[in-house]
Amino acid sequence: MPNEKSSLIGLTRGELESFVQQIGEPAYRGRQLYDGLYRRRLRSFAEMTDLPLALRTWLSEYARIGELQVERSSGPAKDHTRKFLLRLDDGLFIESVFLPESPGQTVCISSQVGCAIGCTFCATGKMGFSRNLTAAEIILQVLEIERLSGTSVTNIVLMGMGEPLHNYENVVKALKIFTDSEGMSLSPSRITVSTVGIIPMIERWCAENPPAKLAISLHATTDERRDQIVPANRAFPLEDLMKSLRRLAHVTRFPVTFEYIMIADFNDRREDAANLRHLLRNIPAKMNLIRLHPTGSGLTPSSDDAIDRFMGWLVEEGIDCTVRESRGVEDSAACGMLYAQEPHPPLSRINRDE
Ligand code: SAH
Ligand code: SF4
């Protein structure tokens, strides 16, 4: 049953101040609520003992903190990764992944139910698009994983289901709460938002400079090839994207991180390394090479030798690169493998009091 009471998680300090003022309380009660919800991560109004009893009782009756139902969890896998299937109030599902010691306590969270882009290699892309997540649903993924794992999250990557820049407003609202020193207090340099490269939204990012790093999913070095696997490239071709990214690097003064899935004989050729040097000219860049995870796409992953060879060519071209360790593959919890729909692989039921 959907819960009719609206969730307080997701509201900013100012919104919580207005909320309490509407019921005749002074604004500072809103700031106390904000502190209880985000800094102290309290999960019930009863624990907010700095609020008067009458207000706590009123809140318990007419408001709620907000939660996501943990439908199932998998893991911990050999590499300690755990994947969670979470049910939203309207009955839709999303997946989130906990990657402890990677090296921080990292959560990979979703920004949408499904994704409208439809990249050929990505399991989420095959689901189609259902809806954007609210700021509350984005934040609650982190809070639920902290609760279930008993740890404090230090790093967040928006690399789960969905295209974050198609849900700009809610994602940025969540980023501000994640990084507010009086809120969840995470460092902006430890939050990464991954995008296929929605140019108008990158322009908006340049203008507003939200508190997170942007990573770009590149995956091919010519428009002709990128069009085949990342349909958004038709609207936002490579040279236009690079122009925006030059601005981004200038505004943020950080190198731009690129993600590059290694596909055999498709993007791991000598000429791809040369094309990259040309594309990335005047962009301080870091390339993250990613193994193609199996999603039934029919594409063949590059071999380890091919990846090593490609890295050598990138070094020759003067491009800074690393190979990203693939985690969570055995439980379909790795990049691009999130697909939150029934039927689902058998996962253990989780005890909510765990
Ligand atoms: N929509 C955003 C963020 C979610 S996808 C984006 O595309 O960037 C997060 C990362 O997973 C992206 O870099 C994406 O390219 C990668 N990914 C998708 N499918 C994959 C697969 N089969 N193997 C490896 N990485 C994959
Ligand atoms: Fe969407 Fe990213 Fe998957 Fe492409 S890779 S379909 S943009 S989630």
Specify the pLDDT at position 83. 92
Least confident among 142-156, 245-259, 317-331: 317-331
Q: Considering only 75-84, 102-111, 298-307, which range has the smallest mean pLDDT? A: 75-84
| Check whether domain 6-64 has CATH 3.40.50.1000, yes or no | no
| For residues 154-172, average pLDDT | 97
φ and ψ at residue 189, rounded to 5 degrees: -75, -10
Pocket of ligand 2 contains residue 338 by CB under 6 Å:
no
Residue 260: what pLDDT? Answer: 98
- How far does residue 226's CA lie from ligand 1's centre (Å)? 14
**Ligand 2 atom 8, closest CA:** 162
| Beta pairing, strands 256-262 & 213-217 | parallel
CA of 195 to the centre of ligand 1 (A): 9
**Residues with Cβ within 8 Å of residue 161, at least 6 apart in sequence:** 94, 95, 110, 111, 112, 113, 114, 115, 124, 127, 338, 340
Nearest in space to 211 (alpha carbons), one of 183, 241, 242: 183
- The SS3 assignment for 269 reads coil
Q: What is the DSSP letter of 353?
A: T
Cα 331–chain centre separation: 18
Nearest C-alpha neighbor of 324 from the set 264, 254, 261: 261
| Confidence tier at 272 by pLDDT (50, 70, 90) | very high
Helix 304-316 vs helix 270-279: crossing angle, to nearest 10? 40
Between residues 161 and 4, the one the model is more confident about: 161
Examine the pLDDT at 343 and tell me if it is beyond 50: no
Q: Which atom of ligand 2 is nearest to the CA of 123?
A: 3
Give dist(CA 218, CA 236) in Å, integer.
12
**Which residue's CA is the nearest one to ligand 2's atom 6?**
125
**Residue in 95, 144, 163, 259 annotated catalytic:** 95
Query: For the ranges 68-72, 99-103, 179-183, which has the lowest average pLDDT?
Result: 99-103
For residue 194, the ligand closest to its alpha carbon is 1
Determine whether 108 is an active site residue.
no
Residue of minimum CA distance from atom 1 in ligand 1:
163
**Joined tokens for residue 227:** 């069009």
* pLDDT, position 336: 65
Q: Does the Cβ of 122 fall within 6 Å of ligand 2?
A: yes
Q: In the chain, where are the structural domains located?
A: 6-64, 69-352
On the question of pLDDT at 325 being above 50, the answer is yes
Residue closest by Cα to atom 13 of ligand 1: 217
Mean pLDDT (whole number) for 153-165: 97
CATH H-level, domain 69-352: superfamily: Aldolase class I (3.20.20.70)
What's the gap in Å between 204 CA and the centre of ligand 1?
A: 22
Instruction: Please determine, for residue 350, whether its predicted confidence score (pLDDT) is greater than 70.
Output: no
Owner of token pair 């009458």: 54
Question: Does ligand 1 have an atom closer than 6 angstroms to the CB of 121?
Answer: yes
* Better pLDDT: 86 or 102: 86
- In short, whether 276's Cβ falls inside 6 Å of ligand 1 is no
**Pairwise pLDDT comparison (2 vs 153), residue with the higher score:** 153
The answer to whether residues 175 and 211 touch, using CB atoms and an 8 Å cutoff, is yes
Q: What is the pLDDT of residue 340?
A: 61
Q: What local confidence, expressed as pLDDT, does residue 22 receive?
A: 95
- Helix axis angle for 199-208 and 168-179, nearest 10°, is 30
Checking if the pLDDT of 330 tops 70, the result is no
Q: How far apart are the first and last CA of the chain?
A: 23
What pLDDT is recorded for position 341? 54
pLDDT confidence of residue 346: 30
Confidence tier at 328 by pLDDT (50, 70, 90): low
Place of tokens 């990335």: 280
Model confidence, pTM: 0.93
> Which ligand 1 atom is nearest residue 297's CA?
22
Ligand 1 and 95: CB distance under 6 A: no
* Cβ–Cβ under 8 Å, residues 331 and 74: yes
pLDDT at 77: 80
Q: For residue 156, how far is its CA from the centre of ligand 2 (angstroms)?
A: 18
102, 110 Cβ separation under 8 angstroms: no
* pLDDT attached to residue 295: 85
Residue with tokens 């809140």: 59
Mutate to test the pocket of ligand 2, among 95, 96, 124 (most ligand atoms within 8 A of CB): 124
